Chains A and B, each alone.
Chain A
């Protein structure tokens, strides 16, 4: 069973996580590793781009997976593992925002991208998007990140955030337009 974990679905892997009902801890560990390999980039991207502070994003990211594993020992039903993880991450991000006043923050990585690159004009955009996200309202930013970074459908976004699918579409539309406004000079340069 330890072999070929990649062949199992997210829901099957989630079932393997349980050790309290006599499950094998080695199987649980292997299943957790597989889930982590599959979903950690998306969860980290969400934390990293919803929270501007890289250190807090990392704290939330770590806490998300630890809580996810502990929750798996109690949860009986699971229909959407990525959505479940994102819901945990979202709650922790909201707590982090509530506990700490938001401010515009440029991490070392972003600074590196923006100012110390040999081909500044070509590398800028990724860093600029990161910065531009700070100018979006939290509602728009969240939907944009879930849609563009995590690849969630509008229905899934609505389920995670607690809004309708139509509202999710509208927020995404406005978030992109806002980003286009912020990045317009750079995007225009890229077209030349």
Chain B
């Protein structure tokens, strides 16, 4: 009932304060409708209130004051407010999350690669010992023993030795029981042929024995062999066996195959191109524009980018990527005839095309550089990323790197910009 005694102006103030009783509103509006002065007063009060709310100077504590308060209490200044270090402290303050993620990723990769790799190596050795039969490699050189299959007793495998390939040399056979071998190679066609053959064989055996002397001086009687084609598959694994009887191409008896060769394909399997990849990466950066507004959360999908890539070859690829991350925006404009300074940090959804160049891989790493060009709901955005891939397994690549992005936006015919730097880290799945 107290409001019944209020003047029209007081009623208007109470209404604008949200404290006017609903029952009094008809009276206030009736007065307002018939009173130009009251209408003027209302417009002025609204303008006054808007001006107060746009008074950014009043609502922005100086960075120095923030740093002084937190310093006095022995605390670290909050990054979102700015702090003594400004951009740098904020950036470092956010860096621990991707740094920790990267460290955990590296540790997990190392552990998985180490233990999984050891198991594989052990299994591989075991399987090789179990192989029966072992197929001889089909080397191009005619000098190499051509046998379809050699059944090697498991217990005869004494060791596996890596052999250095020397170009343009012939196979050297080690004949430990020449007499027995020669008797096995006699041809029953005629005595002359037999005599000639024996002479040839004796000459060849003599040559081989001379070679034996040379090879015997080498440890483990390693047979050396070479064809130019084999250079691509070096190193070879040579199985040292005993007790098998085979013939050389020239008919030289070999009572005891001291060494047989088996080709071991290298671990490296060439990549096939083109290929498709899906990427997902985290974004952790700081805008190089100081604002007091807190970063918008982005409704769960924030500081993340997903993309699809098409790699033409080992060096070049293109793709598309979409992401969402906050950008600090500081701009000015006129609102209701009042100059307003906007201080916001919205989470922007962006989409871009990308072009990527990759270097030759080394030690499991493959450095890359990437250019993105796209747009947001506010304006165009460009992005440069430099980093490296690490491939712990064929279908998976880990990535880590630094990125710089630049947002351009226009408000009331004035163009503004927000640069941003930070880390990126993520995964690529290959198909």
Q: Which of B41, B51, B72, B292 has the most CB of A within 10 A?
A: B51
Say yes or no for B100: interface residue by CB 8 A criterion.
no
The answer on a CB contact under 8 Å between B76 and A62 is no
Q: A36-B81, A176-B13 are in contact. Are A44 and B69 (CB under 8 A)?
A: no
Q: Give how many B residues have a beta carbon under 8 Å from the other chain's beta carbons.
A: 43
Cα separation A49 to B294 with both chains bound (whole Å): 24
Say what secondary structure dominates the interface of chain A.
helix
Cα separation A179 to B45 with both chains bound (whole Å): 9
Taking residues whose C-beta sits less than 8 angstroms from the other chain, chain A's interface range is 35 or more
Say yes or no for B393: interface residue by CB 8 A criterion.
no
Q: Which of A62, A109, A172, A180 contacts B44 (CB 8 A)?
A: A180
Say yes or no for B55: interface residue by CB 8 A criterion.
yes
Across-interface contacts of B68 in A (CB, < 8 A): 62
Q: Which of A36, A61, A65, A126 contacts B339 (CB 8 A)?
A: A126
The answer on a CB contact under 8 Å between A149 and B72 is no
Cα separation A109 to B338 with both chains bound (whole Å): 17
The answer on a CB contact under 8 Å between A41 and B61 is yes
Cα separation A29 to B75 with both chains bound (whole Å): 6
Say yes or no for A106: interface residue by CB 8 A criterion.
no
Cα separation A41 to B49 with both chains bound (whole Å): 17
Say yes or no for B52: interface residue by CB 8 A criterion.
yes
Say yes or no for A33: interface residue by CB 8 A criterion.
yes
The answer on a CB contact under 8 Å between B72 and A180 is no
Say yes or no for B207: interface residue by CB 8 A criterion.
no
The answer on a CB contact under 8 Å between B62 and A191 is no
Across-interface contacts of B44 in A (CB, < 8 A): 180, 183-184, 187, 191
Q: A66-B69, A69-B73, A129-B48 are in contact. Are A45 and B59 (CB under 8 A)?
A: yes
The answer on a CB contact under 8 Å between A48 and B58 is yes
Across-interface contacts of A123 in B (CB, < 8 A): 338-339
Across-interface contacts of A140 in B (CB, < 8 A): none
Across-interface contacts of B234 in A (CB, < 8 A): none
Across-interface contacts of B217 in A (CB, < 8 A): none
The answer on a CB contact under 8 Å between A176 and B45 is yes
Say yes or no for B19: interface residue by CB 8 A criterion.
yes
The answer on a CB contact under 8 Å between B59 and A41 is yes
Q: B residues 2-59 with Cβ under 8 Å of A?
A: 9-10, 13-14, 17, 19, 40-41, 43-45, 47-49, 51-52, 54-55, 57-59
Q: B residues 68-125 with Cβ under 8 Å of A?
A: 68-69, 72-73, 75-76, 78, 80-81
Across-interface contacts of A49 in B (CB, < 8 A): 55, 58
Across-interface contacts of A42 in B (CB, < 8 A): 59
**B120 to A: closest C-beta gap in Å:** 40
A 50-67 to B, binary, CB cutoff 8 A, 1 in contact else 0: 000000001001100110
Cα separation A126 to B337 with both chains bound (whole Å): 11
Say yes or no for B269: interface residue by CB 8 A criterion.
no
Q: A36-B81, A176-B13 are in contact. Are A129 and B52 (CB under 8 A)?
A: yes
Cα separation A177 to B52 with both chains bound (whole Å): 15
The answer on a CB contact under 8 Å between B48 and A183 is yes
The answer on a CB contact under 8 Å between A122 and B338 is yes
A 112-137 to B, binary, CB cutoff 8 A, 1 in contact else 0: 01000101011111100110000000
B 364-400 to A, binary, CB cutoff 8 A, 1 in contact else 0: 0000000000000000000000000000000000000
Q: List 10 A-B contacts (CB under 8 A).
A: A37-B80, A45-B55, A130-B58, A148-B52, A169-B19, A176-B45, A183-B48, A191-B40, A191-B43, A191-B44
Top 5 closest A-B pairs, CB basis? A123-B339, A45-B58, A41-B59, A44-B61, A122-B339
Known contacts A58-B65, A69-B73, A183-B44; 11 further A-B pairs (Cβ under 8 A): A29-B75, A32-B75, A62-B72, A122-B334, A122-B338, A126-B338, A129-B48, A129-B51, A148-B52, A169-B19, A183-B48
B residues in contact (CB < 8 Å) with A: 9-10, 13-14, 17, 19, 40-41, 43-45, 47-49, 51-52, 54-55, 57-62, 64-66, 68-69, 72-73, 75-76, 78, 80-81, 292, 294, 334, 336-339
A residues in contact (CB < 8 Å) with B: 29, 32-33, 36-37, 40-42, 44-45, 48-49, 58, 61-62, 65-66, 69, 109-110, 113, 117, 119, 121-126, 129-130, 147-149, 154, 169, 172-173, 176-177, 179-180, 183-184, 187, 190-191
